[in-house]
Amino acid sequence: MTTTNQSWGGRFNQPTDEFVKIFGASVFFDKILAPYDIAGSIAHATMLCEVGLLTDEEKSQIIDGLNTILADIEADRFEWSIDLEDVHMNIEARLVNMIGNAGKKLHTGRSRNDQVATDIRLYLRNQVDDINNEIKRLQSALLDLAEQEVDTILPGFTHLQAAQPISFGHHMMAYFEMLSRDAERLIDCRKRLNSMPLGSAALAGTTYPINRTRTAELLGFERICNNSLDGVSDRDFAIEFLNAASIIMMHLSRFSEELILWSSAQFDFIELPDSFCTGSSIMPQKKNPDVPELVRGKTGRVYGHLTSLLTIMKSQPLAYNKDNQEDKEPLFDTVNTLKACLRVFADMVPTIETKRNNMYNAAKKGYTTATDLADYLVKKGLPFRDAHEVVGKSVAYGIQKQKDLSELSLKELQAFNADIENDVFDILSLEGSLNARNHLGGTAPNQVKQAINNARKALK
């Protein structure tokens, strides 16, 4: 009788079709889980020995064998077999080949279903920590840039129209705050993914006297999955991570868009170094901001992975289904993409060169201190809606005369409201506008400095 994979082929009379082997195998991509699979197996073997299901000698053989296999994998000496389908069976088969019957006992009380669910959680827990470290590195770079540019003035935009003057440092701190929430989301996600499914077995638990609390302790899990069906079948923790990753990429994409605009000849607010740009094959003058463009493009890739995993899970009945093999590639690619984007941004931000005069001159266009004039009139006792109308007429006059509000004479301004006095020019300057917003969260330079100091303390 011809059989198939020795781990499950006992009831089969025909070999697996060769294309089906390739179609169903996951070892091409899930071998990345090998260190986590081995860590889970070592903890499982330790627990099995403590409850009397393995002897001390068998446990030692298993652990020594697994460590040898891990060393071979890390040295790229391990031969992966598609016939063994996945990372789990490749490692187990090699272990049995090395130590014999003791290796066959390792699978006691567990299934590939709870094994892979455990591996993914261990992997993702580690990756979340690495990603948060990259977020902190980027935040640190933003703080340095913000501190350097506290007094640099540029136009703040709404609807991509010049709105009010702001500090460039204040603008950078906006992205710092976004990334702080991103880090919080990942920390929160980590709490939920740090639950151990091992011991759920295929779907119903096991008849062996296992000690799941001990295994969780050995693997650093904070809690145990309370329901075996849920433990092996749900991937909401991965979906939650992909959602958090998508939000991070959205923030990086917004930042990318601004860097692309600011580095264009039309804005000319910043200069990106040559090492983060490329040229054109036909236009010799071009200097293209490829890094932010790529990050902006990769955002759609991560969004797609989130949609993919949501779709994979949406119609699955309990418990485990082979559909879940499709959870890994979107997850792995998201991790790699996100880490790369954060890394390149953390490397690029310290190299940004600001063109302060260009920013300042741009902030003088578009009547960006108009709101300050309205606020000035309100403080003189005029209702805001009336003040809004007065300033609107002043701006219309300025457009006609091709003058900024700060360039109008006192006599011209008083034609719109007699209460305007000479002190109005203090608030119509860009510096005056910034300094007037002297409250928590405002763009006044001393407030930006305090925000940076607070952020440095929080980051430590």
**Which residues are the active-site residues?**
159, 280
Determine whether 459 is exposed, middle or buried from the number of CB atoms within 10 Å of its CB (0-12, 13-18, 19+).
middle
Contact between 194 and 221 under an 8 Å Cβ cutoff? The reply is: yes
Residues whose CB is less than 8 angstroms from the CB of residue 327 and which lie 6 or more positions away in sequence, other chains included: 120, 235, 238, 309, 312
How, if at all, do strands 270-271 and 153-158 pair? Answer: unpaired
The span from the CA of 89 to the CA of 73, in Å, is 14
Three-state secondary-structure class, residue 204: coil
Contact between 224 and 212 under an 8 Å Cβ cutoff? The reply is: yes
Distance separating the N- and C-terminal Cα atoms of the chain: 65
Please give the single-letter amino acid code of residue 285.
Q
110: phi then psi, degrees, rounded to nearest 5: -145, 170
